[in-house]
Amino acid sequence: MAALEEEDKEPEAPTFSWMPADCVPMADGEYDAIVLHVDRNQYYGADSASLNLSNLFAKFNGGKQPEDRFFEILGQNRDYNIDLIPKCIMACGKLVKILLHTKVTRYLEFKSLDASYVYRSGKVYKVPATGGEALSSSLLGLFEKRRFRQFLVYLQGYDKDKPETHKGKDLTVMTMQQLYDYFSLEKLTQEFVGHAMALQTDDSYLSKPALPTVMAIHLYVYSLDRYGTSPYIYPMYGLGGLPEGFSRLCAIHGGTFMLNRSVDEVLFGADGKAWGIKGGNEVAKAPLILGDPSYFAKHGKCACTGKVARSICFLNHPIPNTNNAESLQIIIPAAQLKRKNDIYIVLVSNSHQVAAPGKYVAICSTTAETADPIKELQPALALLGPIMTKFDDCVELYEPTADGTADNCFISKSFDATSHFESSSADVLSLYKRITGADLDLNINADSTKGDY
């Protein structure tokens, strides 16, 4: 909580945890605010932190420390940076634009994920995304290869601002199902296009206009083209580098940071507007308050929207049948398992400096559909081969019930089950707009201050 000796310097925006919202708009100097950042954890990033072995073990075992044997088997604490929430970054996606815009890029290094796979009938296949890959993929039959290639060629030529590239199709009206049918794509091809390329989480997109899905496939293809063997990039030392980078950016612009401080409650006036936060016997005043739902739950500001099941698995081998990839993503389309929601697997290892040499961390996740969500992950776990140890987690997702303009509480959404940052980034941009009333212009500033790098 705010240091009391600083009464005269009222922070304008206490923020809790990463979110990742707080730092993005506040810290880059466009929105002039004094930021006080309070976090109940002793590390940055809340749910988006990357933990070492001790912190991970303690989190899942009521604060207990692991026995020495745990380290003997898995390796040293400092070798590990384990994400609690597995997400990859689309190389051309919104988060990359935010990183470039805020110049948080100067604190981080990235590496591509080795590969992107999709599940079909008990096996995993590399996702073909170019004409050449389509022709060689065993995912597609001989005639289907040609149809898929024609579909890709149409998509790659498509520019929504150039009607001559539309070839007479109005994708703002035509549904995605109609577009698939036009190219006579088989159901199984539709499945991997929709889920492993356009990253739709269920099949509701089929009956909607095709344009957003086509743009999502564009994003996938351009991202693949950008750095290498998959469209995904991932920071060295884990996703926790993102909140740490934003925190440093904010600190450089004068933000104050307090980790390991509990926030007991948000303080509201008679008019229902929040004016501060309280922890122990300290109070910090502020005209607006940002935070993740956990800090506002007891004030009835958030609603539960579902549950996510996650299983963090330690392996001493790559995932079978993936060409020994040291990092990858596997998507299991919902229909393959007669489910409503896809299941995701993200594998990372020593090549991204998140695990000891020879060790692999695979995180499986999905949106829960039954009373036993961890069991729903079983088909994903079955793909991993022998598992050394695992940590299961099932958490409720929350989102704010109001936009914050009436009560000064600007609340982010919980991180969802999707395996990339597109929805979280949209949430951050929405928060920025709710707070400032304007869209954040992500067009990269070409005259970046030299020497600051």
Residues forming the site for another protein (CB under 8 A) = 43-44, 92-94, 96, 99-100, 103, 105-111, 215, 218-219, 222-223, 226-227, 233, 236-237, 240-241, 244-245, 247-249, 251-261, 443-444, 446, 451-453
Cα(427)–Cα(415) distance, rounded to whole angstroms?
Answer: 10
Nearer to another protein by C-beta: 115 or 364?
Answer: 115
Nearer to another protein by C-beta: 261 or 301?
Answer: 261
Please report how close the Cβ of residue 99 comes to another protein at its closest, in angstroms.
Answer: 6
CA 122 to chain CA centroid, nearest Å: 26
Nearer to another protein by C-beta: 159 or 265?
Answer: 159
Nearer to another protein by C-beta: 43 or 391?
Answer: 43
Q: Tell how strand 328-332 and strand 343-349 pair up.
A: antiparallel
Please report how close the Cβ of residue 182 comes to another protein at its closest, in angstroms.
Answer: 23
198: tokens are: 């356009």
Please report how close the Cβ of residue 292 comes to another protein at its closest, in angstroms.
Answer: 18
290 three-state secondary structure: strand
Give yes or no for a cis peptide into 20 (omega within 30° of 0).
yes
Enumerate the β-bridge partners of residue 221.
none
Please report how close the Cβ of residue 236 comes to another protein at its closest, in angstroms.
Answer: 5
Cα(95)–Cα(112) distance, rounded to whole angstroms?
Answer: 15
Q: Sort 8 into a burial class: Cβ within 10 Å, 0-12 / 13-18 / 19+.
A: exposed
Cβ-contact 35, 250 below 8 angstroms: yes
Cα(361)–Cα(349) distance, rounded to whole angstroms?
Answer: 6
What are the φ/ψ torsions at residue 21 (nearest 5 degrees)? -65, -45
Please identify which residue in the block is written with the tokens 């499945």.
191
Nearer to another protein by C-beta: 4 or 444?
Answer: 444
Nearer to another protein by C-beta: 226 or 278?
Answer: 226
Looking from the CA of 39 toward its CB, the CA atoms found within 13 Å total 23
Please report how close the Cβ of residue 342 comes to another protein at its closest, in angstroms.
Answer: 21
Nearer to another protein by C-beta: 50 or 189?
Answer: 50
Please report how close the Cβ of residue 373 comes to another protein at its closest, in angstroms.
Answer: 31
Please report how close the Cβ of residue 193 comes to another protein at its closest, in angstroms.
Answer: 17
